[in-house]
Structure 1
């Protein structure tokens, strides 16, 4: 069970670039969580996505140490639950935007694209605190660097959306 969770249903074994595969695999779940949450309540989409993100983070903290111990590496490439959590965090502003505007989340496809590429860039680059978290060498570090990369990507996705709206209004 821990391996299934840590590898996000074995997506982590796809090569090359397992982190990118993990990030891509997270996206259909964003759509599903947003739509399922929205059925119950107009703002349920982002709420359900946020709760799922928290649950995946906790599950990642539980599952990652077993895979790390088995592999003998601090951050095995097959562990991609951290990328899923980071990608879901990066997509939360898109989900909130769709809920606030009462539109289909797929209509905000520029936000999907921005969140994905920004998250991948920060996950690979690891500037500042993201790199610090990555260097912790424990399960929290494995998860936390992607959490921070997801937060930065989400904030920048909102900033890009604001800039694009300002440009369209000009």
Structure 2
């Protein structure tokens, strides 16, 4: 079980990237989302919930061997990216902006994202990226509504 947790926790090795492992995990996530057949928002949310709890389990085990909130544990980036693209059109430019927005909030960690890291074990590892994904998604939903409303009228 420990080996499976580390494979999942590192997003199949992306977390071992020598440069910006969080960004590497996010790139794996956005590529997987791009090449996955389109899902309804409800279907994507269903998978997000499952992936979140799998991530809590895997991150808790990874912290045991790798220390608190280890950089190699990037499954949280997968879940955060999934949240970022919920109910957004599957277009390359939108996914590029979604990637940038998620990384922005994940790195900046505005309140309460920064506070969520104090949650115990895998809960803290996963929850800050969930919140970053929610922030990014809300900003993008608002941005695209403004753009499309202004373009139409």
Count the aligned residue pairs.
Answer: 150
Once residues 64 and 112 of structure 1 are traced to their aligned partners in structure 2, the CA distance between those partners, rounded to angstroms, is 26
Q: Which residue of 2 aligns with 1:53?
A: 48
4, 11, 15: which one aligns with 2:18:
15
122, 142, 148: which one aligns with 1:165:
148
Once residues 127 and 23 of structure 1 are traced to their aligned partners in structure 2, the CA distance between those partners, rounded to angstroms, is 19
Q: Compute the displacement of 1:158 (Å).
A: 0.6
Higher helix share: 1
Q: Compute the displacement of 1:84 (Å).
A: 0.5
* Structure 1 gaps, min length 5: 39-43, 99-104
Q: Which residue of 2 aligns with 1:41?
A: none
Once residues 98 and 117 of structure 2 are traced to their aligned partners in structure 1, the CA distance between those partners, rounded to angstroms, is 20
Q: Compute the displacement of 1:137 (Å).
A: 4.8
Once residues 2 and 129 of structure 1 are traced to their aligned partners in structure 2, the CA distance between those partners, rounded to angstroms, is 27
Once residues 45 and 28 of structure 1 are traced to their aligned partners in structure 2, the CA distance between those partners, rounded to angstroms, is 18
Structure 1-normalised TM-score? 0.81
Q: Which residue of 2 aligns with 1:79?
A: 73
Once residues 85 and 138 of structure 2 are traced to their aligned partners in structure 1, the CA distance between those partners, rounded to angstroms, is 10
Question: Following superposition, which runs of at least 4 residues in structure 1 exceed 4 angstroms of deviation?
Answer: none
102, 106, 116: which one aligns with 2:99:
116
2:70 aligns to what SS in structure 1? Answer: coil
| Equivalent runs, 1:69-148 vs 2, <5 Å | 69-71=64-66, 73-94=67-88, 98=89, 105=90, 108-148=91-131
Q: Which residue of 1 aligns with 2:136?
A: 153
Q: Compute the displacement of 1:153 (Å).
A: 0.4
